[in-house]
Chain A
Amino acid sequence: MGTYIIRRLLGMIPMLLAITIFIFLMMHAAPGNAIESMINPKIQDIQALKQQLIQENGLNKPLYIQYVDWLWNFIRGDWGYSFAQHVPVTQLVLPALGNTLILAALAEVFILIIGVPLGIMQARKPYSTFDNSASIVNIILFSVPYFIIAIFLIYLLAIKLNVFPSQNAIGSGPNAGSVLDHLYHAFLPAFSIALASSAVYSRYTRGSMLDIARRDFTRTARAKGLPESVVFRKHVFRNGMIPIITQFGFDIGGLAGGAVILEGLFAYQGMGYVTLQAAQQRDYNVIMATSLIIAVCVLLGNLIADILYAMVDPRIRYD
């Protein structure tokens, strides 16, 4: 297990390098000089300032040196300066990362509470009226674009009933910034994500459970005289959860940047939101940092998925 994790971690390094090169080259290929997006055209004596900035930012050096410099600075924690927001990128991105992780975690909890149990309930009584109607609800929920669900939730819960905030990742008042406050603000976006994903997860869970319920070893368990509840809990459930748990790992990483639209709608200052804003303002340093962080999150998510997989499935663990 230990070597397994180490091997996976080492295996991530070339991928990380490839990601950094891709991000660097993409930004480099962006039309327009990076400097031009940095400086305010109202400043007098623009040319001198431009030259100075080019010098300071090493933009006259060969490309690979620029890349190495950028990477080295990034590793050291110097992620550059946001020219649109006028703050160091770290100040912008790190809180956003925190917010996004809270959102992702909460969303996953909701999925665990809503989607997975629903799928399990469906699988317990497949082809029953309950199962069929749940399947229809799922496919509808799955077909409504998730931002429409989100808008509906904002309208209902934030504007009409005013029970949850519709905007921002933290509130005001004495408790602002506390854990509870964070969760309170993450509630609606997380719930929106969860509603849309739950449809997927319950379909997935149901399918996985039904698949396991057809397996030989389930039949063996029944032949041993175990009551249906035990058969389900101990045999079907345990095996059926393996792909779900793995998917969970993937999603934890994916949510880091995957909820762009929702973060935008909820003005939730997460990674997606910051990236979106930076994209609108062509704030290259921020885009580079967020893209890289998000890619790393996804990589780590995959790692988590693999580890979870190895943990629940002895066939992998004893490899």
Chain B
Amino acid sequence: LTGCGNSTSSNNNSGSSNNAAAGKPVNGGTLTMADTTKWEDMFIPYLNDASPTFAMWELSFEPLMSYDKNLNLTPNIAKSWSYSKNKKTLTIKLDPNAKWSDGKPITSDDVLLFMNFIASPAYNKTFQGDYGYMVQPVVGSADVMSGKAKSFADTGGFKKISNTEFQLNFTNVDAAVLAADVSSYTPLPSHILGKIPFSQWQNMSFDKVPTVVDGAFIPKKVNGQSSITYDANPNYLHGKPHIAHVQLKYVSEDVLPSLIENGQIDMNIEGNNLDTNSFVKMEKDSNLSTEAQPAMSYGYVGMKLNESKFKSVKLRQAMNYAVDKQAIIQGVYKGLGKPAYGPLPYFDWAAAQPSDGMNTYSYNPTKAKQLLNEAGFTIPKGQKYRIDPATGKTAKYTLVYSSGSAEVQSICTAVAQNLQAVGLDVQLGTPLDFNVMLTKLENNSPGLDMFFLANGVGTDPDPRGTWGSNDPQNFGRWVNAKNDALIAETYSAKAFNKTYRKQAFIKWQLNVNQQVPQLFLYDRDDTWAYNKNVHIPASSWIPGGYTGIQNWWISQ
């Protein structure tokens, strides 16, 4: 693999086209990608929590481990790992070939720097950082987070064994911590960043144009929030990418499809950049390739289960039957998705299937009405809506959603209309700004009985944070002892056995599926469209996105 993109394309023109015709990768070329939301020009991983910013630095930084199609862990910078007997110590060996772009090796210190940063008060308070939970299971996390200790090396949480080997000590036995947290640790170049206080990181020139990275592409020039130019990293762990340059541009959602169609942009970078309508049209364009992959989130309508109106399980089941999820997927997402009936996406290794006893709650208004009748929700003669037996008044609910998305709007309208059809008086509330809505849910503010949200699912199915009775993101405030016990089983000591863990997950899902604390709607797809000249091996596509960008190539 020699020469840079320019010379390849000009000197070996015939050769490269031969290669292209043969489907063999050629080197060189520029891949122009676009995002439709602005990023912050902050290249330090996790410094900013916005997804476009992630998309931007993920080209340049690598986590310890990565995933395959079924979300199983695979080695990346970490070559291997093992647990101690008591399951409280994890030893990780780094790949000795893993190097920073300046040729320096990636070391244990680089991982420690990341951990200290993510736990530092500067990160959590000044930057309102979002990922402190990643290091919380590690011994001494509370001290580091409060500023009492400077480093996990001092608290005994982190033990450096060699430049390429270290140990992590955990407070509790937890089967999920590796996949859910440690796998995402993203080493930071301590030889560059080590001496600079965390509080200054966001003001450094480094984050404008970082010089040293370990990912496939090195950012070379940042033009504010408009565009970024990257060069291929010759020292990339998985080999120097075929593509010589990547250019990332910001364009608005309205023009992106047209720009991809006329070749000004090669590809969208995030899976939610394209609106479904445009995507469907682009699928028919012979100059473009398209790709749909399940998104790492599912849409649902939550209910305030701490309020008496939703106490009845039959009511909740009836709601799940009453909504035509397939219609939503067809109408809003043009078929790009699947109906949801449980908390884990269907493609997850731990997802419970109908064969495991999951009820799919496929659209059945008759069944819904029957369930409602059984639960005592009856319709008085000549009325449209049912009476809530608990209050004796009309069963009336307000459904709130966040403003700004026409799709969410359509979905909620459809849900409300479906539920009205079975006699439940569901009315749409005023659309709220997303953060305002979250705050209201957070504070258990009155006035929102039901709410539409999309729930992100991690690459590890660990349900904590969202599903536990006291979890901060349990917005529906579903308190269920059986559920808590089933969740605890999924990270118990026994769960270090993957088969056991899967069974634990299935049991948990069956309970959720029966209790239906939410009105599950859909698992939707993320979509990409790209120029035919861009060649992306099928193996690059995984749920939630792509990997292996070093294998992509561009024909002229």
Contact = CB atoms under 8 A, between A and B. Distances in A.
A166 B255 contact: yes
Contacts of A176: 221, 223, 226-227
Given A42-B473, A159-B262, A282-B436, A87 B49 contact: no
A171 B202 contact: no
B389 interface: no
B227 to A, nearest CB: 4
Given A43-B128, A168-B227, A280 B247 contact: no
Interface in B133-156: 133
A169 B226 contact: yes
Give the size category of B's interface with A. 35 or more
B277 interface: no
Nearest to B253: A267
A37 B226 contact: no
Interface in A40-72: 40-44, 46, 49, 52
Given A46-B442, A159-B262, A267-B252, A37 B435 contact: yes
B356 to A, nearest CB: 31
B15 interface: no
A280 B133 CA distance: 29
Interface residues of A, number: 41
Nearest to A44: B472
B130 A171 contact: no
A67 B49 CA distance: 31
B433 interface: yes
A23 interface: no
B40 interface: yes
A40 B435 CA distance: 8
Interface string B255-275: 100110010100000000000
A168 B252 CA distance: 9
B132 interface: yes
Contacts of A77: none
Contacts of A12: none
A176 to B, nearest CB: 4
A85 interface: yes
A86 B42 contact: yes
Contacts of A158: 255
A179 B325 CA distance: 53
A41 B466 CA distance: 12
Contacts of B247: 172
A62 B40 CA distance: 34
B144 to A, nearest CB: 14
A282 B202 contact: no
B317 interface: no
Contacts of A174: 221
Nearest to B248: A172
Contacts of B50: 86
A83 B49 CA distance: 11
Interface string B104-141: 00000000000000000000110110101100000000
Contact of B259 (A46, A159, A170, A281): A159
A40 B439 contact: no
Contacts of B224: 95, 169-170, 269
B255 A159 contact: yes
A37 B436 contact: yes
A172 B249 contact: yes
B226 A171 contact: yes
A220 interface: no
Nearest to B435: A37
A41 B472 contact: yes
Contact of A40 (B40, B130, B202, B228): B130
Contacts of A269: 224-226
Interface string B198-240: 0000100000000000000000010111111100000000000
B127 A86 contact: yes
Contact of B130 (A43, A46, A49, A170): A43
Given A32-B439, A154-B255, A172 B132 contact: no
B221 A86 contact: no
A37 B439 contact: yes
A36 interface: yes
A49 B472 CA distance: 14
Contacts of A85: 40
Given A86-B42, A281-B435, A42 B130 contact: yes
B173 interface: no
A63 B435 CA distance: 25
Contacts of A121: none
Nearest to A38: B128
Interface in A170-217: 170-174, 176-177
Interface in B18-62: 38, 40, 42, 47-50
Given A32-B436, A86-B42, A170-B226, A52 B125 contact: yes
Contacts of B229: 172-173
B250 interface: yes
B201 to A, nearest CB: 12
A150 to B, nearest CB: 11
B40 A87 contact: yes
Contact of A86 (B40, B223, B473): B40
B251 interface: yes
B537 interface: no
A269 B225 CA distance: 8
Given A41-B442, A86-B127, A87-B202, 8 more contacts: A41-B472, A43-B132, A44-B472, A49-B125, A167-B255, A168-B251, A172-B226, A277-B38
22 contacts: A32-B439, A36-B436, A37-B435, A40-B130, A41-B438, A43-B128, A44-B133, A49-B125, A83-B128, A95-B224, A169-B226, A171-B226, A171-B227, A172-B223, A172-B226, A172-B247, A172-B249, A176-B226, A267-B251, A281-B435, A282-B435, A282-B436
Closest A-B pairs by Cβ, 9 of them: A172-B227, A168-B226, A176-B223, A167-B251, A36-B439, A41-B438, A41-B442, A267-B252, A159-B258
